[in-house]
Amino acid sequence: MKRIAELDLPGYAIGGLAVGEPTERMYEVIEAVEEHMPEDRPRYLMGVGTPGNIVEAVARGVDFFDCVMPARNGRHGHFFTSRGVININNEQYKDDDGPIDGECACPVCGNFSRAYIRHLFKAGELLALRLAVLHNLYYYNDLMAKIRSAIEIGDFESLRKRVLLQYADCKE
């Protein structure tokens, strides 16, 4: 990163992480390279991650991300919510008329119940996949908006702690 920073580029990326190494090792590498990245340029972390990974990377100076996780996991019935991940395929949602996430303002949560979305997954309906991806992408975009807002008002550490508690069990 020291040599790359000398190129005076419009932004800088960190890649090759989240491919099997322990999470703490990924954070160590981010910390090691971040100190050499120009502070006035965007910092991009490629292919990472869970909501917990995102807040931890932001805490270490990363500005933006890309990741297949919201779409890939959504297609398997895993929904990111304000209370952590739920697997809509679980029997407990069979008759649940509530939204995926009562705190979410996405069109999926505003228009479809957990029971209906579970039914779509069980029936093999493609609409299930679309709704899951739509919700998860909305959740990730909303998380980033909350992070920006928390930074602006000086409350990032509080948000960071909440997200880490919500996703303590989320490894992938």
Instruction: Kindly report, residue by residue over 126-161, the tens digit of the pLDDT.
Output: 999 999 999 999 999 999 999 999 999 999 999 999
Question: For the chain, percent helix, then strand, then coil, each to nearest 5?
Answer: 50, 10, 40
Pick the more confident residue, 131 or 14: 131
What band does 168 get if pLDDT is binned at 50, 70 and 90? confident
Instruction: Kindly report, residue by residue over 77-102, the tens digit of the pLDDT.
Output: 999 999 999 999 999 999 999 999 99
* pLDDT value, residue 47: 85
Query: What is the C-alpha separation between 5 and 25, in angstroms, rounded?
Result: 22
Query: What is the C-alpha separation between 104 and 114, in angstroms, rounded?
Result: 13
Task: Give yes or no for residue 73 having a pLDDT over 80.
Answer: yes
**Token representation of residue 49:** 């991650």
Domains annotated on the chain, with CATH: 2-67 (3.40.50.2300), 76-136 (no CATH)
Give the residue ranges of DSSP H helices in 6-154.
23-34, 51-59, 69-74, 107-111, 114-123, 126-153
Cβ distance 139 to 80 under 8 Å?
Answer: yes
What band does 170 get if pLDDT is binned at 50, 70 and 90? low
